[in-house]
């Protein structure tokens, strides 16, 4: 029997209304993108799972992080993100059951069909390419792990993970998953955008090639949208605010209304965004300058 295609997302149980909106969005704009939606979660109520499954065929998988010792992890992971951010690693393990795995964050709005993203080109993966691996780490990177990172080009390219695609010919994908866990445990105190840092390191270490996802088309952020309005297929509410806590978008709100009214789904418990949360979303480019000065002996 042929293996299926999955589109995957995941997050904490309080975020499931956004995942329900994602299901509505997929069903509306690109129902042929995958055979089913896979959602990693840590406690979405069963009655809400059933409602989401009525929108688009959905498999719910409870995520239990594999880290035995959590004392090494920094506040960025434990307080700003959560250990659910590492459920993205599970996409490699899903290759046992699916021929194609498409990860998408749930803080997106699909504007036009993105079904073509599943089509394979040359490589066994597709990612958004970024600059400066060092921006994926916290400032204390320099004195704690400088020796360990000396074999990496930390001013070189990296990858971003709001949207990516994996195919089941990805080389030694089970071992890749295991190494994600090991490196995350080891570097846990220094990670800024944690899963992106680790995946970027492993891609660089093993010289894994990937086809590039155009960020203008598939990862346009709100401040870029007006100038890319004719190209963008996805609007990505990276950082804060999100569509459900301050970023106004009529189309997203219309899906949300369908969820809460037509499906009688539980909605968000609204709360204000703190200045600290917003600041946490700023990429620390100052880290690059500090490293360059240190490297030059200044």
- Structure-block tokens of residue 57: 């065929």
Write down the pLDDT at residue 271.
Answer: 59
Whole-angstrom Cα distance, residue 175 to residue 1? 25
pLDDT class of 138 with cuts at 50, 70, 90: confident
- pLDDT of 183-236, one tens digit each? 999 999 989 999 999 999 999 999 999 999 999 999 999 999 999 999 999 999
The average pLDDT across 123-147 equals 84
The pLDDT value recorded for residue 290 is 44
pLDDT at 296 over 50: no
Domains of the chain are 4-295 (3.90.550.10)
Q: pLDDT at residue 282 above 50? A: no
> Cα angle vertex 237, ends 136, 287, to 5°?
20
Residue 103 half-sphere exposure toward CB, CA atoms < 13 A: 28
Q: Which helix (H) or strand (E) holds 234?
A: strand 234-236
Strand partners, 10: 40
How far, in Å, are 96, 103, 104, 198, 238 from residue 160 at the CA level? 24, 12, 11, 11, 12
How far CA 210 is from CA of 72, 154, 158, 179, 203, in Å, comes to: 31, 19, 11, 18, 9
Q: Is the pLDDT of residue 284 over 70?
A: no
| Residue entry with tokens 């958004």 | 128
The yes-or-no verdict on residue 274 having pLDDT over 70 is no
Q: Facing residues of 5 across strands?
A: 100
- pLDDT of 1 > 80? The answer is no
C-alpha dist (Å) from residue 114 to 27, 30, 111: 12, 6, 9
DSSP, collapsed to helix, strand or coil, labels residue 287 as helix
Closest CA relative to residue 16, chosen from 187, 157, 96, 47? 47
Token pair recorded at residue 228: 């890319």
- pLDDT average, residue stretch 169-191: 96
Global pTM?
0.90
Quick one: what percent of the chain has pLDDT higher than 90? 79
Confidence of residue 149 (pLDDT cuts 50, 70, 90): confident
Question: Any alpha helices (H) in the chain, and if so which ranges?
Answer: 16-29, 46-55, 75, 90-93, 141-145, 173-187, 194-205, 215-218, 250-257, 275-279, 286-295
Question: Could you give the CA distance from residue 219 to residue 196 in angstroms, rounded to a whole number?
Answer: 15
3-state SS class at 137: strand
Residue 287 pLDDT greater than 70, yes or no: no
Q: Which two tokens stand for residue 189?
A: 């105190």
Which tens digit of pLDDT belongs to each residue from 74-133? 989 998 899 999 999 999 999 999 999 999 999 999 999 999 999 999 999 999 999 999
Find, among 120, 130, 108, 110, the residue nearest to 29 by Cα. Answer: 110
Task: Please tell me the total number of residues recorded for the chain in this structure.
Answer: 298
pLDDT digits (tens, 9 = 90+) for 45-56: 999 999 999 999
Q: Rounded distance, CA 8 to CA 225, Å?
A: 24
> Which tens digit of pLDDT belongs to each residue from 232-257?
999 999 999 999 999 999 999 999 99
**Quick check: 163 pLDDT over 90?**
yes
């Amino acid at each position: 029997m042929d293996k299926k295609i999955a589109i995957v997302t995941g997050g904490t149980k309080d975020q499931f209304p956004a995942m329900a909106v994602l299901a509505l969005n997929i069903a509306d704009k690109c129902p042929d993108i995958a055979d089913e939606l896979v959602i990693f979660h840590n406690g979405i109520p069963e009655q809400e799972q059933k409602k989401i499954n009525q929108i688009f065929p959905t498999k719910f998988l409870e995520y239990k992080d594999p880290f035995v010792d959590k004392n090494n992890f920094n506040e960025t992971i434990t307080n700003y993100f959560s250990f659910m951010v590492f459920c993205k690693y599970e996409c490699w393990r899903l290759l046992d059951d699916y021929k194609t795995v498409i990860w998408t964050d749930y803080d997106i709005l699909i504007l036009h069909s993105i079904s073509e993203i599943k089509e394979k080109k040359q490589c066994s993966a597709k990612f958004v390419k970024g600059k400066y691996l060092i921006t994926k780490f916290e400032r204390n990177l320099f004195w704690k792990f400088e020796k360990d990172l000396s074999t990496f080009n930390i001013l070189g390219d990296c990858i971003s993970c709001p949207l990516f695609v994996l195919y089941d010919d990805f080389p030694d994908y089970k071992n890749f998953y295991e190494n994600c866990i090991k490196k995350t445990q080891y570097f846990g105190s220094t990670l800024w955008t944690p899963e992106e840092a680790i995946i970027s390191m492993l891609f660089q270490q093993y010289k894994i090639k990937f086809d590039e996802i155009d960020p203008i088309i598939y990862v346009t952020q709100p401040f870029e949208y007006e100038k890319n309005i004719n190209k963008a297929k996805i609007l990505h509410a990276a950082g804060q605010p999100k569509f459900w806590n301050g970023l106004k978008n009529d189309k997203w709100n219309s899906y949300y209304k369908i969820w809460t009214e037509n499906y009688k789904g539980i909605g968000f418990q609204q709360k204000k965004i703190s200045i600290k949360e917003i600041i946490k979303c700023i990429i620390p480019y100052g880290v690059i300058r500090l490293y360059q000065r240190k490297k030059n002996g200044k």
